[in-house]
Amino acid sequence: MPVNKVLKNCEEAVADIFDGASVMVGGFGSYAGLPVHLIDALSRRGAQGLTIIANMGGVGFELSKRIKPEGYQDAGILFEKGLVKKFIGSMPALGGMPPTSPLEVLYNQGKVEIEMVPQGTLAERIRCGAGGLGGFYTPVGAGTVIAEGKEKKVMNGREYILELPLTADFALIKAYKADEMGNLIYRQTARCFNPVMAMAAKVTIVEVEEIVLTGRFDPESIVTPHVYVRRIVEVVR
């Protein structure tokens, strides 16, 4: 008998995220593909000392209104509530925004650690973690601060650096629709980091706009197969 993956609400879905857990947050940065309801639920659960792995550190509720007039919760709320000890990502703060994002403020106060990772390297480290690989050599970051302390190798006259895999205890994911087994499809550019992160965590939790009966998806259209998905919650976006 397959386990029931469909949960009633986001609170229930994040209830076992523990102090010190590593959590991947899907999306790209702003509203498209961001699991805003799961982030909100995690901020209210209040687990401490989290490591957040995400492309961007979020701008916080006030500045999110520049993207969507009614505003939404991005990863900023997790920093604002002091729940995070470390951020791993490519854009902790946006140079084009005022220096007021919760992560940037805390970082400037020395209250949170940042591991800066080029965006493509971030995606590839997560894919390596998901696929059981030990790492990869990339030319990206060679000759910059990103290369400091990393193994280097020259191949065909070009310098590469060794990057190591990334996995997490939990992944918070936004998909467009799931079937009851947990197969996922995405919509437009809301796909972004969600499929790779969904594959790289011990427990993948997904918010979707609709849960459909198993068999309704064309198998050719499924992007994330159900084996990666542990929990699904239907939300109103």
Q: Which residues of this chain interact with other proteins, rule CB under 8 A? A: 28-33, 55-57, 67-68, 89-96, 99, 101, 103-104, 107-108, 114, 116, 118-124, 126-127, 138-146, 186-196, 223
Q: Which is nearer to other proteins, 46 or 139 (CB)?
A: 139
Cβ of 200: how many Cβ atoms within 10 Å? 23
In whole angstroms, the minimum distance from the beta carbon of 184 to other proteins comes to: 11
We find the least distance from the C-beta atom of residue 234 to other proteins, in angstroms, to be 17
Query: From the CB of 225, what's the least distance to other proteins, in Å?
Result: 14
Q: Is 45 exposed, middle or buried (0-12, 13-18, 19+ CB in 10 A)?
A: middle
Interstrand relation of 184-185 and 177-179 (parallel, antiparallel or unpaired) = antiparallel
Taking the complex as a whole, the smallest distance from the CB of residue 120 to other proteins amounts, in Å, to 3
When the beta carbons of 17 and 228 are compared against other proteins, the nearer one is: 228
In the bound complex, what is the minimum distance in angstroms from residue 30's beta carbon to other proteins? 5
Vertex 133: Cα angle to 26 and 14 (nearest 5):
30
Instruction: Kindly tell me which of 50 and 56 has the beta carbon lying closer to other proteins.
Output: 56
Is 11 or 159 the residue whose CB approaches other proteins more closely? Answer: 159
Nearer to other proteins, 156 or 188 (CB): 188
Core vs surface per residue 62-94: b (16+ CB within 10 A) or e = ebbeeeeeebbbbbbbbbbeebbeebbbbbbbb
User: Closest separation between CB of residue 109 and other proteins, Å?
Assistant: 11
* Maximum Cα interatomic distance, the chain, rounded to a whole number of Å: 56
Closest CA to 220 of 183, 194, 191, 189: 183
Residues 23 and 4: beta-carbon distance below 8 Å = no
Nearer to other proteins, 80 or 124 (CB): 124
Q: What span, in angstroms and rounded, lies between the C-alpha atoms of 216 and 212? A: 7
